[in-house]
């Protein structure tokens, strides 16, 4: 029968909140921000394409070569012929083209030369002129070819640029932010839900029917399931947006992050929920909640910074340690896992430690909650633990 | 039979209940009266398992009450409490479900409750938008929604207008006549006297009087007269020898005879003005209460 009661309590928590207009609106805003964010990311990522204006007879053939050379470098150049210098300059001024090449001799830009484009133009033009000079010097085309066709210098990057890794880190970062927001918001809901029952006195009506532990479990469960559903929705909408807007080259990473984030939300939420419930149970009114929640807030904010640091340096000792500690693990471990810095075994270990810590905390939190929830005024935890009321 | 046996409860240095025992038979309505802070709420909370006693026990049908039994009790706490943001019907359904009713039954009972208590038209309103009187009605509906076997109500009448009092009285009478033991606390002693056959009087954590109201009145040795006189000089009765004023009335008083005879009072009243009414009466519950608590 006890399971039934917990389910009924959980169901109320879920249904009453999901029907709340404020909740629906804030969820909508979150999704909107996410889509805008993804769209902006897609625009910024697509920055390596240029429009080049061409004026004068000498510009057409060199333009072709610039476009093809740029193509080799993964830069897209669209050629736009103009009839007069004035037209070309106007187009540059108005931003219709990024630069204009006049008679194959002058590059016109508005103010700040686009480095990638100008670099390609300079290289192609220099080669063109060298070729002309060599022809004048009487070299055969074969000799010219041999002189000019030098292989590009090999680049040895000490820290190789790994686009995949960079993108995984970015997606992981978004995951960390989402988890932080979600843990904070839903933890706060547990605390304020407890205070609501206390300050509205409905808790006395409830406790005449259900045990405090059942009430607490139902509340945590209902709010947690809602948090998980909302997070999953954010994940699905966010992922769909990246696909539609073409913001990601490696969508597999995003899918991995979503899965890992959902799992660590569950671990982190249950770890923190009992503590938030205690923070709520020991104060009489919502206004007093801020003070008892402060220690928890600090822990979560510090964990966020650890998570950001772990996202940047996932193989550091700090990241390894904090990805195993229950308070910070939800914000550190997902990045390490998605970047391949933590093995599945490590992830499993971290999860086990989290579950173990949660199981150890639940009875203590339930004990404090049970004794504090009917007492008026602000309550000291130590005093509550000593008082005789048991569950 | 609901029995409270030897309940004792301390809050740090304060003894809130000291060996409190009384019982309520099926179909009986018992008024639980006493001054503020006497221990009424503590006793009721213990009966509902919201608080635990340091000593003593609560029995229902001869057996100690456990959590499962308590789910069949109906309770209205003194500190009214409902979720302010929940809608009336949803709230009642929720509480009925917590008390073990299945979904369909819970819904039917919740609808019935709003109809009986006259708040059916506010079924889909949020609790916080209701007037205090209507919130009170919903609170009572909440206590009744699961067809409780026992009803324990802490100050159910406080804050109700006369119509609300009538509705509530009717509902409680109905419950009692259906065989439910009903116990409620109240400061409105005239109401208790009208509704309850029996009362339990508690003062400073101890039961100071209990039993049928009629018996308590009978047992009170005081002789009282209630006299109303029109056109008399104010407080004409104050100088009468052998008489103590118990309760001044707008045009008269309730007087305790302490040596004087009823006829002496009547003579004095006639001399003072036109006698409208003159009765030799038994002490009312209010007077018994005052005497018991030494006020």
The CATH number of the structural domain formed by B2-213 is 3.40.50.300
What pLDDT shows up at residue A161? 61
B116 Cβ contact partners less than 8 Å away, ≥ 6 residues apart: B141, B144, B171
What is the rounded average pLDDT of the residues B113-117?
Answer: 91
Q: What is the pLDDT of residue A391?
A: 35
- The whole-number pLDDT of residue A127 equals 84
What is the reported pLDDT for B177?
A: 94
Rounded Cα gap, residues A275 and A286, in angstroms:
16
d(C-alpha A381, C-alpha A282), whole Å:
7
Tell me phi and psi for residue A364, to 5 degrees. Answer: -65, -45
% of chain A beyond a pLDDT of 90? 36
Chain B residues within an 8 Å CB radius of A386: none
- C-alpha pair distances (Å), B133 with each of B81, B159, B162: 13, 7, 11
Residues facing B256 on adjacent strands: B224, B244
At A388 the pLDDT is 53
Six token digits for residue A332: 């550190």
Question: Does residue B188 surpass a pLDDT of 70?
Answer: yes
Give the pLDDT of residue A386: 66
- Smallest CA–CA distance, residue A168 to chain B, in Å, is 43
Q: Are A291 and A380 contacting, i.e. CB atoms less than 8 angstroms apart?
A: no
Residue of chain B with shortest Cα separation from A201: B81
pLDDT confidence bin for A160, thresholds 50/70/90 = low
Give residue limits of the domains in chain A.
9-43+163-386, 47-148
- Over 70: is that where the pLDDT of A389 sits? no
CA distance A271 to chain B (A): 27
Tell me if the domain spanning B220-292 has CATH number 1.10.238: no
Query: What percent of chain B is helix, strand and coil (3-state, nearest 5)?
Result: 35, 30, 35
Closest CA to B20 of B288, B216, B209, B295: B209
- Are the C-beta atoms of A304 and A335 separated by less than 8 Å? no
A118 has pLDDT over 50: yes
Per-residue pLDDT reduced to its tens digit, A20-52: 888 999 899 989 988 888 888 777 665 577 888
Confidence of residue B281 (pLDDT cuts 50, 70, 90): confident
- CA–CA separation, A5 and B95 (whole Å): 11
C-alpha A94: how far from its chain's center?
35
pTM of the predicted protein model: 0.78
pLDDT band at A1 (very low <50, low <70, confident <90, very high): very low
Q: In CATH, what class is A47-148? A: alpha beta
Mean pLDDT of the B117-144 span = 91
Least-confidence region, from A8-17, A112-121, B161-170, B177-186: A112-121
For A186-208, the pLDDT digits (tens) are 999 999 999 999 888 898 889 88
Per residue in B192-234, pLDDT (tens digit) is: 999 998 999 999 999 998 999 889 888 888 888 999 988 877 7
pLDDT band, residue B74 (cuts 50/70/90): very high
Q: What percent of chain B has pLDDT over 70?
A: 100
Phi/psi-derived region of residue A177, left when phi > 0, alpha when psi is between -120 and 50, beta in every other case:
alpha
CA distance B61 to chain A (A): 19
Q: Is the pLDDT of residue A180 over 60?
A: yes
pLDDT band at A145 (very low <50, low <70, confident <90, very high): confident
Q: Name the band, by pLDDT with cuts 50, 70 and 90, for residue B176.
A: very high
Examine the pLDDT at A390 and tell me if it is beyond 50.
Answer: no
Which chain B residues contact residue A377 at CB under 8 A? Answer: none
Q: Are strands A76-82 and A49-55 parallel, antiparallel or unpaired?
A: parallel
pLDDT digits (tens, 9 = 90+) for B134-156: 898 899 999 999 999 999 999 99
- B82 has a chain A CB within 8 A of its CB: yes
Question: A390 in contact with B at a CB cutoff of 8 Å?
Answer: yes
State yes or no: pLDDT of A134 exceeds 80: yes
Closest residue, chain B, to A371 (C-alpha) = B51
Domain ranges of chain B: 2-213, 220-292
Q: Is the pLDDT of residue A362 over 50?
A: yes
């Amino acid at each position: 029968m006890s399971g039934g009661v917990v389910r009924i309590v959980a169901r109320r928590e879920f249904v009453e909140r999901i029907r709340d207009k404020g909740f629906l609106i804030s969820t909508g805003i979150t999704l909107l921000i996410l889509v805008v964010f993804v769209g902006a990311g897609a625009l910024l990522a697509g920055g390596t394409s240029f429009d080049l204006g061409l004026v004068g007879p000498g510009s057409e053939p060199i333009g072709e070569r610039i476009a093809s050379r740029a193509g080799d470098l993964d830069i897209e150049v669209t050629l736009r012929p103009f009839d007069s210098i004035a037209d070309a300059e106007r187009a540059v001024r108005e931003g219709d083209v990024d630069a204009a090449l006049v008679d194959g001799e002058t590059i016109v830009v508005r103010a700040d030369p686009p480095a990638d484009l100008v670099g390609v133009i300079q290289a192609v033009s220099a080669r063109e002129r060298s070729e002309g000079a060599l022809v004048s010097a009487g070299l055969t085309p074969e000799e010219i070819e041999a002189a000019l066709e030098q292989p590009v210098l090999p680049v040895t990057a000490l820290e190789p640029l790994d686009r995949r890794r960079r993108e995984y880190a970015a997606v992981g970062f978004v995951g960390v932010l989402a988890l932080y927001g979600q843990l904070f918001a839903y933890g706060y809901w547990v605390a304020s839900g407890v205070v609501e029952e206390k300050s509205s006195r409905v808790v006395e009506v409830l406790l005449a029917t259900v045990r405090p532990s059942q009430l607490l479990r139902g509340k945590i469960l209902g709010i947690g399931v809602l948090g998980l559903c909302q997070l999953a929705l954010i994940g699905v909408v966010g992922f769909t947006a990246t696909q539609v807007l073409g913001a990601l080259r490696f969508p597999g990473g995003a899918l991995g992050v979503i899965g890992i984030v959902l799992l660590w939300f569950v671990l982190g939420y249950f770890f923190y929920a009992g503590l938030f419930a205690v923070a709520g149970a020991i104060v009489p009114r919502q206004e007093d909640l801020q003070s008892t929640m402060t220690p928890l807030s600090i822990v979560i904010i510090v964990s966020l910074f650890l998570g950001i640091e772990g996202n940047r340096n996932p193989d550091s000792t700090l990241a390894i340690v904090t990805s195993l500690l229950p308070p910070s693990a939800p914000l550190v471990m997902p990045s390490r896992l998605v970047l391949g810095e933590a093995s599945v075994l490590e992830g499993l270990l971290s999860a086990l430690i989290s579950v173990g810590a949660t199981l150890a905390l639940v009875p203590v939190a339930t004990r404090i909650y049970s004794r504090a929830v009917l007492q008026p005024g602000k309550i000291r935890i130590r005093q509550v633990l000593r008082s005789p009321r048991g569950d | 039979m609901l029995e409270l046996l030897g309940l004792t409860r301390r809050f740090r240095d304060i003894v809130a209940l000291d060996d409190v025992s009384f019982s309520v038979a099926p179909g009986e309505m018992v008024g639980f009266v006493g001054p503020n802070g006497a221990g009424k709420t503590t006793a009721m909370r213990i009966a509902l398992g919201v608080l635990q006693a340091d000593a003593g026990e609560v029995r229902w049908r001869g057996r100690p009450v456990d959590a499962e039994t308590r789910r069949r009790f109906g309770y209205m706490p003194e500190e009214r409490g409902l979720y302010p943001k929940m809608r009336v019907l949803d709230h009642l359904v929720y509480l009925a479900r917590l008390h073990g009713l299945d979904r369909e039954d819970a819904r039917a009972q919740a609808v019935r409750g709003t109809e009986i208590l006259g708040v059916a038209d506010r079924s889909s309103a949020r609790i916080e938008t209701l007037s205090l009187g209507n919130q009170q009605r919903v609170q009572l509906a909440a206590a009744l929604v699961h067809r409780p076997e026992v009803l324990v109500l802490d100050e159910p009448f406080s804050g109700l207008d006369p119509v609300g009092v009538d509705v509530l009285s009717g509902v409680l009478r109905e419950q009692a006549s259906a065989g439910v033991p009903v116990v409620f606390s109240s400061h409105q002693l005239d109401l208790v006297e009208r509704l309850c056959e029996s009362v339990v009087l508690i003062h400073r954590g101890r039961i100071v009087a209990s039993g049928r109201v009629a018996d308590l009145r009978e047992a009170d040795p005081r002789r009282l007269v209630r006299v109303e006189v029109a056109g008399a000089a104010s407080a004409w009765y104050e100088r009468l020898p052998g008489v103590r004023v118990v309760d001044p009335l707008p045009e008269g008083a309730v007087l305790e005879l302490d040596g004087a005879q009823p006829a002496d009072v009547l003579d004095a009243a006639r001399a003072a003005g036109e006698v409208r009414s003159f009765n030799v009466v038994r002490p009312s519950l209010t007077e018994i209460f005052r005497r018991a608590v030494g006020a």
